[in-house]
Chains A and B, each alone.
Chain A
Amino acid sequence: MEKILKVQNLVKEYGSSFRAVDGVSFEVAEGEIFGLLGPNGAGKTTIIRTISTILSFTSGKIEVLGLDNREHAEEVRKNIGILTTDIGAYERFSGRENLLYFGELYGVEKGMLEKRIEELAELLDMKDFIDKRTGKYSTGMKQRLAIARSVIHDPRVIIFDEPTSGLDVLASQTVRNFMKRAKDSGKAVIFSTHQMYDAEKLCDRVIIIHKGKTVAYDSVENLKRETGARDLEDAFLKLVSDN
C-alpha cells in the first residue's frame, strides 16, 4: 500500500523552552485507519495542525502525496480533510449553505458540489436537518456537519480529531461507519483520540504520543502482545506509565 502521508522527525517548539512535539515520525498508507493516540496535552492536535499547514514547525519534514507541505501548502490543503475539535458552524446559514461555502473555497465545481452534499447528507444521516439554520443544531448535528465539511472536497487524506466527542451512541456509530467506509474507498484515515476502545476497534496501526514523544508505533495486535495487555487501553496505560 502506498504511503501517502509521511512525517519525519517532526519537532515543534514554542519559544526556546517548550517542545510540544519532539522528533515524531510515522507514515500512513492509503486504505488504512491509523491511530494517533495519547493523553490530553500529548501533542496530537499540534501534530495535526502542522500536517494541515496551519501551524509551522521547527524542524523535520512532512510530505502529503509526495508534496512537501512547507513548499506546497495550498496544494497539500486541497488533498487533506480535517475534522478538528472546533465544530462550530455559521449559525445564520443552513447546513447546506455552510457546505456550499466550504466546497467553493475548496474549489469543487458547482454541479459536483451539489451532488456531493446530497451524498454526504445521505451517508451521515443529515437529510432531516441539512436545510435548517445551524444555530438550531444539537452537538450531534454539528459534529456530523463538521465531518461533511471536512470531506466536502473528497480528499485522499482524512484526519479525524476526537470525532465522537460529545456524541450519543447512535451518532458515534454513524461516525465510525463513515470512517470505515472512507478506509474501504482507499482513503488514508488518521484517527486521533484518547478513546482506546474506539481506536482498538477501528485502527490498523497506531502511534502513541506522550509529552510530545513517540512511545509506541506498531499495529494494535503487536502492541497488545508486546505489553501482555488484554486490550489497547491496558497496553496504552502500561506504555505511558513506563515513560
Chain B
Amino acid sequence: MDLKSIITIWKKELRDTLRDRRTVFSMILIPMLLMPVMIIGMFKFIQSQSAKQSQQTLKVAIAGADYAPQLADAVRGQKNFEITQVDTDPKQAVADEKIDAAIIIPEDFQAKIENEEPVQLNFISKSTNLKTSNAYLAILSTVSDFNKKLLQERFTDQHINPSVLSNVTLAQEDAATSKETGGFVLGFLIPLFIVMWAIVGGQYTAIDVSAGEKERKTLEALLLTPVKRVDIVLGKFLAVSTVAVVSIITAISSLYFSFVYAGKMGVPIEANMNTGASMPVAAGLGALNFSVEPQAVLILFVISLFLVLMFSAIILSISIFAKSFKEAQSYISPAYIIVILPVVLVNAVPGFQPTLMYFAVPAVNAILLFKELLMGTYDWAHILLTLISLAIYSAAAIFIASKIYSRESVLFND
C-alpha cells in the first residue's frame, strides 16, 4: 500500500467534488436548508391545520329533536355546529354530502327514559369526510354529559348521593423525564436521516469517481500509472466517505438545531407532538429536552462512520459496473430501496422490541441503537454487537470493492 498515492487520489477526488456545483448543492446546501424548512414547515403545517379544524363549522341535522328537546338543545349548544334542516332522509343527505352529519333520535326516546330502559341514538357520518371525527367526539361528550345528568337525577330521587358515580378517578402521570421524551422525539427522525445520508451523501461522488471515469474516458490513463489497483480504490473510497460524512454532519446538525430552535420560531414542538396516542405526554407540558450526552454523540458518530464506510464501498462496487453516470444511477436505485425498506419498517413499527440478533443486521442495527442512545439507554451488548458487525461489513465491502476493481471484464466492459 502506497500512502502517498492514496492521499494524492483522495485529495484530487475531493477537489473535483468541491468544484462540481451539483454535488455541493445536493450534498451540503440542500441538507443544510432542507432540514429546517422540513421540520419547521411540518410543524407549522400541523399547527395551522389543527387551528383550522377547530374553527371549521359542521352542518349537522337533528332528526326527531322533538322527542328529546333537552338533548337536542345540548347538541345545538355545541361550538362549530350549524344545525341544518333537511327535507330528505338524513342518511341520504349525509351520503350526498348535503350535510356533514346527522343525529337520529327515536320516537320512543322519552318513553324509554321514563321506563329506565336503554335507548340508542344513531350518529350518521361519512368516514371519507375527515371533519366528522371531531363531530362524533363532541356528540359523544354531549351524550355522556346527558347520561351523567340523568343518572344524578335518578340517584337523587332514590336518595343516593350522586358522587358515587365518580368514586374512582384516573390521573395520568408521565415518569419519563423531559430528556427522555426529547430523545424519543429525536429518535423518530435523526436515526433514519443518518442512515439515508450515509447512502445518499456520498452517492454522487461514488458514481462520479467510478462510472464517471469510464464515461469521461480517463479510467485507462489512471490504470496505466504505477499505482496499485487497491490504492486507487482506497483513494476513491476515502473521497466518497469524506463527502458522505460531511453530508451527514451537515444534515443532522441542521435537523437537530431545527428541533432545538423551532420553539423560538413560534412552533412549539411539544404542543404539536401531544396529539397522537403514540406520542409521549410530557408531564406538566414543560419544554422537551433535546440535549444529547457527549458519550452518546461519540458512539453515534463512530457508528455513523462505519455506516458511511460500508455504504461508500458498496456504492463504489456497484457503480464501476456501469459505463455511464446514468446507468450507475439505475443500478443504485433498487439497491437503495433494499436497504431503506427494512430500516423504515423498523423505524415505523410502534413499540418494536428487538432481540439481540437485530443488532447484527446492517443499517437496522444502527437505527435501533441510535434510538436507544438518544433516550439515554446504554446497552453495551447492543453497542458492541453493532460496532463489531458494522466493522466487519465495512471491511468486507472494501475488500470486495478492491477485487471488483481488479477485474478486466468490469473495467473494460466497453
Contact = CB atoms under 8 A, between A and B. Distances in A.
Interface of A: 49, 52, 54-56, 74-75, 77-78, 80, 82, 84, 86-93, 101-102, 104-107, 146, 149-150
B153 interface: no
Given A75-B226, A105-B8, A146 B221 contact: yes
Greatest chain A CB density within 10 A among B8, B15, B220, B225 is at B225
B221 A86 contact: yes
Interface string B206-246: 00000000001111111111111000000000000000000
Chain B interface bracket (under 10, 10 to 19, 20 to 34, 35 or more): 20 to 34
B226 A54 contact: no
Contact of B226 (A77, A87, A91, A93): A77
B221 A101 contact: no
13 contacts: A54-B408, A54-B411, A74-B227, A74-B228, A78-B226, A84-B220, A86-B217, A89-B218, A91-B216, A92-B20, A104-B8, A105-B9, A105-B226
B385 to A, nearest CB: 40
A187 B12 CA distance: 31
B19 A86 contact: no
B152 interface: no
B16 interface: yes
Contacts of B5: 105
B412 A55 contact: yes
A42 B308 CA distance: 45
A104 B19 CA distance: 20
Contacts of B19: 92-93
Contact of B218 (A49, A75, A88, A104): A88
A133 B103 CA distance: 76
A77 B221 CA distance: 11
A33 B221 CA distance: 22
B213 to A, nearest CB: 8
Interface of B: 5, 8-9, 12, 15-16, 19-20, 216-228, 408, 411-412
Nearest to B18: A92
Contact of B223 (A54, A107, A149): A54
Contacts of A54: 220, 223-224, 408, 411
A149 B223 CA distance: 13
B8 A107 contact: no
B226 A107 contact: yes
B216 A52 contact: no
A132 B12 CA distance: 17
Contacts of B16: 90, 92-93
A119 B222 CA distance: 22
B225 A77 contact: yes
Contacts of A146: 221
Contacts of B223: 54
B5 to A, nearest CB: 6
A87 B217 contact: yes
B247 to A, nearest CB: 19
A82 B228 contact: no
A88 B217 contact: yes
A101 B226 contact: no
A149 B220 CA distance: 12
A102 B12 CA distance: 10
Contacts of A80: 224
Greatest chain A CB density within 10 A among B15, B226, B228, B408 is at B226
Contacts of B217: 86-88
A108 to B, nearest CB: 11
A78 B5 CA distance: 14
Contacts of A101: 8, 12
B216 A88 contact: yes
A231 B199 CA distance: 60
Greatest chain B CB density within 10 A among A78, A82, A89, A102 is at A102
Contacts of A102: 221, 225
Greatest chain B CB density within 10 A among A78, A80, A90 is at A90
A71 to B, nearest CB: 14
A154 to B, nearest CB: 14
A62 B411 CA distance: 22
Contact of A106 (B20, B226, B228): B226
Nearest to A55: B408
Nearest to A56: B408
